[in-house]
Amino acid sequence: MSITADSITLNSPAHHAAAPALRPDLRPDLRHDWTRDEIASLLALPFATLIFRAASLHRTYFDPNEVQISTLLSIKTGGCPEDCGYCPQSAHFDAGVPANKLMDLEPVLHAARAARDAGASRFCMGAAWRSPKDHDLDRVAAMVAGVKALGMETCVTLGMLRPDQAARLKSAGLDYYNHNLDTSPEFYGEIITTRTYQDRLDTLAAVRDAGISVCCGGIIGMGEDLDDRAGLLASLASLNPHPESVPINALVRVTGTKLDHAAPLDPLDFVRMIAAARITMPASMVRLSAGREALSDEAQALCFLAGANSIFYGDTLLTTANPAIARDNALFDKLGIAKQA
Ligand code: SAM
Ligand code: DTB
Ligand code: SF4
């Protein structure tokens, strides 16, 4: 059975329920040939049509009333040599974030246990590095093994990786590596000059080749246009397989960074980006990441409707504010959302 909405043909839940034996990579919704123009057209659809289409696909792949709770910990904060224009941890800006050393193992495991006890099933550790030094990687590998032993899904984001470093993390039990493309290839140079788009793609290939799941997304609200947003999604969806996890961040404007004065993002454009990510990568986790602190409950509800199925939970992301746990719990209660086990 198919439904036609404004000339777009949808596969209904009934259609998918009738074909459970299809391999995920053979399912008709999983395309790797999305063009930028097609995605720009998606982003510009009438809002109700876009959300309907995204929500319909969402429920063919996921329980729409379940959201995964992740907790982030900055295991090495500040003093980063890269010049990412959005980032308070870059040493190129004075955003009041002091440079710290890599944390010891025990406090990291303590934080992971606390996150697990608060309901998180995924623990993501971030380090403000261009790329990890091998002796630091051994210490991070011990953290990964320790968090994994607590029964949590593990993710780290450490900058650029060589293939042998990815293999080292895989053998420690790492589930996901986060490394974002951030924006379109064309707009990228406006934001970052110290590493190239191709550097990022090379790291993603090393992660994929090591057998680690890929977590890769980007940021909107940096002054990019709709075409750049489409270009980011086209780059992500061209990866084969799709990243299993796609964080969509709204810029958190931090005083002292290059993008401090970027124009504010319309929350409905954030919802549109979530919806287009869901449509172009329907089987991936779409993570409603940085920027939730500035979103109303109503805007977040629209993001969940549009296909977001993961949030970061806890008062801080890496260095910036995130909604308080009590507010998130109240929102989940109001919406009837369950935390994914
Ligand atoms: N240093 C590593 C790297 O960039 O490869 C990992 C940590 S980095 C902080 C992880 C991601 O956080 C960035 O790729 C970016 O997408 C996001 N991010 C950083 N600062 C942000 C901000 N102010 N607003 C929104 N997202 C941000
Ligand atoms: C991602 O895409 N967003 C998270 C996670 N990956 C590591 C990080 C957001 C960081 C926001 C800025 C900060 O708190 O420093
Ligand atoms: Fe460094 Fe990552 Fe921040 Fe870029 S985003 S400055 S690489 S910590």
Taking CB atoms and a 6 Å cutoff, what residues make up the pocket around ligand 3? 80, 82, 84, 87, 89-90, 128, 159
pLDDT confidence of residue 10: 37
31 is catalytic: no
pTM: 0.92
pLDDT confidence of residue 254: 97
Residues of the chain with pLDDT under 50: 1-22
Record the tokens describing residue 132, joined without a space: 């990890």
80 is catalytic: yes
- Which among 84, 125, 194, 252 is the best mutation to test ligand 3's pocket, defined by most ligand atoms within 8 Å of the CB? 84
Residue having the nearest C-alpha atom to atom 11 of ligand 2: 290
pLDDT confidence of residue 26: 56
- Give the ligand whose atoms come closest to the C-alpha of residue 127: 1
Atom number of ligand 2 nearest to Cα 247: 2
Cis peptide bond upstream of 241, omega within 30: yes
pLDDT confidence of residue 120: 87
Atom number of ligand 3 nearest to Cα 127: 8
216 is catalytic: no
Distances (CA, A) of 305 to 118, 123, 249, 271: 24, 24, 17, 9
> Is the shortest distance between the CB of 312 and ligand 1 below 6 Å?
no
Q: What angle in degrees, to the nearest 10, is found between the helix axes of 267-280 and 297-305? A: 20
Name the 3-class secondary structure at 69.
strand
Atom number of ligand 2 nearest to Cα 180: 2
pLDDT confidence of residue 29: 78
pLDDT confidence of residue 19: 37
Of 172, 156, 76, 90, nearest to 124 (Cα)?
156
- Tokens 């379109």 correspond to 184
Burial 280-296 (b: 16+ CB within 10 A, else e): bbbbbbbbbbbbbbbbe
pLDDT confidence of residue 259: 97
Choosing from 122, 168, 200, 215, the catalytic residue is 215
Choosing from 53, 116, 124, 253, the catalytic residue is 124
- Ligand 2: centre distance to CA 89 (Å): 11
155 is catalytic: yes
- Ligand 1: centre distance to CA 48 (Å): 31
